[in-house]
Structure 1
Amino acid sequence: MSEAVLPLAMAALTLAGILAGYRVGMVLAGAAALFILLSDLPTAYFNLLVSRIYANVLSNWLLVAIPMFIFMGLVLEKSGVAERALRAAQTALGGSAAGMGISVLVIGMLLAASSGIVGASVVLLAMLALPQLQDAGYDNATSAGLIASSGTLAILIPPSVMLIVLGDQLQTPVPDMFAGAIGPGLLLVAAYGALVIWRARGLARQVRSGPPPSPLRLLIDLGPLIVLVVCVLGSIIAGLATPTEASGLGAFGAILITLIYGKFHWATVFEAARQTVVTTSMVLLVMIGATCFAAVFKAIGGDDVVEVGLMAFGDGPYTVLIVVTPLRDANDHHARRC
């Protein structure tokens, strides 16, 4: 039992730091440094952490896909292309309360597939869709829940930044991760859609919207975004391009779409690039902290403690999945706060 004290204390301290509101990356790295000093690990272990950070994070070319996908999503957001697609879907499906909710869900799915980042999707949906949902008769809790759920589809639906990171950490090909996430992502969208229709069954209020757009107008507003998503994901899953190459294709495609719509401005590109640097730095900070935490946690016997804890619930694959999934969801929630 004594050998489990340090790993449990490290996990508890890390969780307490995250719940206290400190940056996730700082908490992970700080816990690693503190428990090197508290345990019997030599201080030379700090040198090992530096080498692991360089090998696992800073020199990993797969992670180049992260800023490229982030840049793609930000260009679509800043240029107004995503807003244009959202308004087109709202007009096409927004004649009823259920149609308005479904349109928000569909656009959330498209934004998830075009950017892979949660922040851009949630902010854009909140600004554009929240007033429309309230006009349709949805209460504040349902409106906020639908926007948050639709926006956070970017965690699961490819090209998710989270899937790229997990693929690298688990040594699993990213195309396989993307292909495996499409089914669960669409299943989640269908479940959300059924819930929206059920919640809207008593709302007879009509949404203030313009006349239904013609099929040609709808194709013009939504077509380029859909083509971009299909090209990026299709090239990865079909093996025609690596995730890094496909991310470059996505970034170039986003710029090309702004040119097609006449929305290209250098100021927009510079602002998207600036925010890409900030967001990528936050992601890498979490990865660096996680690398340090994992190395120290394993060195003080944390892997054995986790294995014993999981096996206490049973060794069946479905049992392990049921136990691990709530832990993963909790980690995703706290990671989004970083």
Structure 2
Amino acid sequence: MIELLPLLLFAFAFIILLVGYPVAFALAGSGLLFALIGYMTGTFDSVFLEAIPNRIQGILSNELLIAIPLFVFMGVMLEKSKIAEELLDTMGQVFGGKPGGLGLSVLIVGMLLAASTGIVGATVVTMGLLALPTMLKRGYSPQVATGVICASGTLGQIIPPSIVLVLLGDVISSAYQQAQLDQGIFAPESVTVGDLFLGALIPGILLVGLYALYIIIIALVAPNKVPPIPEDERKVSRELWMQVLTVLIPPIGLIVLVLGSILGGIATPTEAASVGSVGAIVLAKFKKTLNFSVLQQVLRSTTEVTAMVFMILIGASIFSLVFRGFGGDDLVRDFLTNLPGGMFSALFLVMLVMFLLGFFLDFIEITFVVIPIVAPILLSMGIDPIWLGIMIALNLQTSFLTPPFGFSLFYLRGVAPDSVSTPQIYRGVIPFIAIQIVVIGLLAYYPSLATWLPNLVYG
């Protein structure tokens, strides 16, 4: 019975989550409840409870995690100051003269917005409100329009700079060091957020390129599904290119500045995120969209997201400590290492479980609860930490797209007009899910897609 306590703890927490309790309190509450039961029955060592204050202090003093509110502020400021709206209008004018051009514009703007926010829900909702009515008005097929918006919105999982990769970088680094200590290496190496950013570049660009190729194929095969913008609504070349210079270059320059300073080792992720936040304020002021009301909305959204992330992180830390106190990590390690097929079977099973959990839990919960348990085990089997991090990001991105429970589908359904049916949204994302699976397969077969660039830059 004692050996089953870790499994009962996990099952109990999952049921509480399905009932609808807030994630942070469900994780912390279930952990503390089982710890109390274990302490009273003599099956739980109180030293793990005594470690909770130190763990929380470690979270609050982690300088890397300060990058989260700063990146969120940067993304929300770009969104609330209508820079995203201007980007969409400009890119629509640039590409809109050809069939599929508006779809490509939505993909590019969605990629930029996803990279700056890193929050799937925010990007999908924003693009759904801005782009979906325009695409439908231009005669786009509802399936194509909704598919492009959902797919581009989930790019925040893999396109740097992204808070997803920041969180993954912190957790994977700790797991990698733990795996090395378990193997008797007492001067463990570390994995940085910059490593994950570099590792995500090639898979991310490949993914966006295949998305764009799919839209181009539709434009060639069925142009009536992705018609061009009428000629009388297009701007003349000189006016258009001036608009491109003033609208497109500044936000792209800001993202390149933030990402380049991290990858070049000039600034830490936290320092680069602070530069990005200030840059977003400057852009909003330059666009004359910055006022007290906008600033208030941005600060409120940033505070809400930051509070959510840190409360979940604290709750997940308590849950993980109690899970380890019951010997749960040893139970998982013995199960994965004894699977027939070795490393491949263990990795496949973990990815499958994460994919299914992605239907019910956001990436933050999965990152803080599941990855700290399984990642040290997988890394001790010889799996590259950068490759593992990118595989997890792509896997969760696919999960968030997959019917019937994908998060991005629910987000878009909430803002889509009644004329767009739920089955149309489901059918629209299927080709993009297939593309995701192709990229995951390529990354699994060619790990160098994720590891080559970090090894080249950092040796």
Q: Could you tell me the TM-score, scaled by structure 1's length?
A: 0.90
**CA RMSD of the aligned region, Å?**
2.3
Relative to structure 1, is the Cα distance of residues 158 and 320 closer, same or farther in structure 2, using a 3 angstrom cutoff? farther
Q: Secondary structure at the match of 1:170?
A: helix
The 8 Å contact of residues 224 and 257 in structure 1, kept in 2 or not, is answered as: yes
- Percent of counterpart pairs with the same letter? 39
Relative to structure 1, is the Cα distance of residues 206 and 308 closer, same or farther in structure 2, using a 3 angstrom cutoff? same
Partner of 1:178: 197
Partner of 1:335: 362
Relative to structure 1, is the Cα distance of residues 238 and 329 closer, same or farther in structure 2, using a 3 angstrom cutoff? farther
Relative to structure 1, is the Cα distance of residues 81 and 156 closer, same or farther in structure 2, using a 3 angstrom cutoff? same
Partner of 2:331: 305
Partner of 2:13: 14
The 8 Å contact of residues 309 and 364 in structure 2, kept in 1 or not, is answered as: no
Relative to structure 1, is the Cα distance of residues 278 and 212 closer, same or farther in structure 2, using a 3 angstrom cutoff? farther
Q: Report whether the alignment pairs 1:48 with 2:66.
A: no
Relative to structure 1, is the Cα distance of residues 96 and 9 closer, same or farther in structure 2, using a 3 angstrom cutoff? farther
Number of equivalent positions: 335
Structure number with the bigger relative contact order (C-alpha 8 A, sep ≥ 6) is 1
Q: Report whether the alignment pairs 1:167 with 2:169.
A: yes
Q: Distance in 1 between matches of 2:15 and 2:288?
A: 49
Partner of 2:62: 60
Q: Report whether the alignment pairs 1:121 with 2:123.
A: yes
Relative to structure 1, is the Cα distance of residues 325 and 219 closer, same or farther in structure 2, using a 3 angstrom cutoff? farther
Relative to structure 1, is the Cα distance of residues 192 and 238 closer, same or farther in structure 2, using a 3 angstrom cutoff? same
Q: Distance in 2 between matches of 1:216 and 1:106?
A: 19
Q: Distance in 1 between matches of 2:345 and 2:104?
A: 34
The 8 Å contact of residues 297 and 303 in structure 1, kept in 2 or not, is answered as: yes
Matched letter for residue 307 of structure 1: R
Q: Secondary structure at the match of 2:51?
A: helix
Deviation sequence 1:86-120 (CA, Å, 0-9, x none): 11112212234522222111111111222222233
Q: 1:224 aligns with which of 247, 250, 271?
A: 250
Q: Distance in 2 between matches of 1:186 and 1:19?
A: 35
Q: Offset at 1:80?
A: 0.9
Partner of 2:235: 211
Partner of 1:27: 26
Deviation sequence 1:271-322 (CA, Å, 0-9, x none): 2112111110011111111111111112212212222333315323x54443
The 8 Å contact of residues 136 and 203 in structure 1, kept in 2 or not, is answered as: no
Deviation sequence 1:157-205 (CA, Å, 0-9, x none): 1121121112222222111111111122222212322333344532423
The 8 Å contact of residues 69 and 251 in structure 1, kept in 2 or not, is answered as: yes
Q: Distance in 2 between matches of 1:135 and 1:98?
A: 14
Select between 328-337 and 73-82 the one with higher mean Cα deviation: 328-337
Q: Which runs of 5+ in 1 are unaligned?
A: none
Partner of 1:156: 158
Q: Offset at 1:75?
A: 0.9
Deviation sequence 1:117-145 (CA, Å, 0-9, x none): 22331121011111123234444444333
Partner of 1:195: 214
Q: Which runs of 5+ in 2 are unaligned?
A: 174-190, 366-459
Q: Distance in 1 between matches of 2:21 and 2:97?
A: 44
Q: 1:286 aligns with which of 294, 312, 317?
A: 312
Select between 170-179 and 226-235 the one with higher mean Cα deviation: 170-179
Q: Distance in 1 between matches of 2:148 and 2:340?
A: 34
Partner of 2:188: none
Q: Distance in 2 between matches of 1:319 and 1:194?
A: 33
Q: Distance in 2 between matches of 1:277 and 1:174?
A: 23
Relative to structure 1, is the Cα distance of residues 144 and 243 closer, same or farther in structure 2, using a 3 angstrom cutoff? same
The 8 Å contact of residues 78 and 280 in structure 2, kept in 1 or not, is answered as: yes
Q: Secondary structure at the match of 2:342?
A: coil
Q: Distance in 1 between matches of 2:203 and 2:311?
A: 29
Matched letter for residue 210 of structure 2: A
Q: Could you tell me the TM-score, scaled by structure 2's length?
A: 0.68
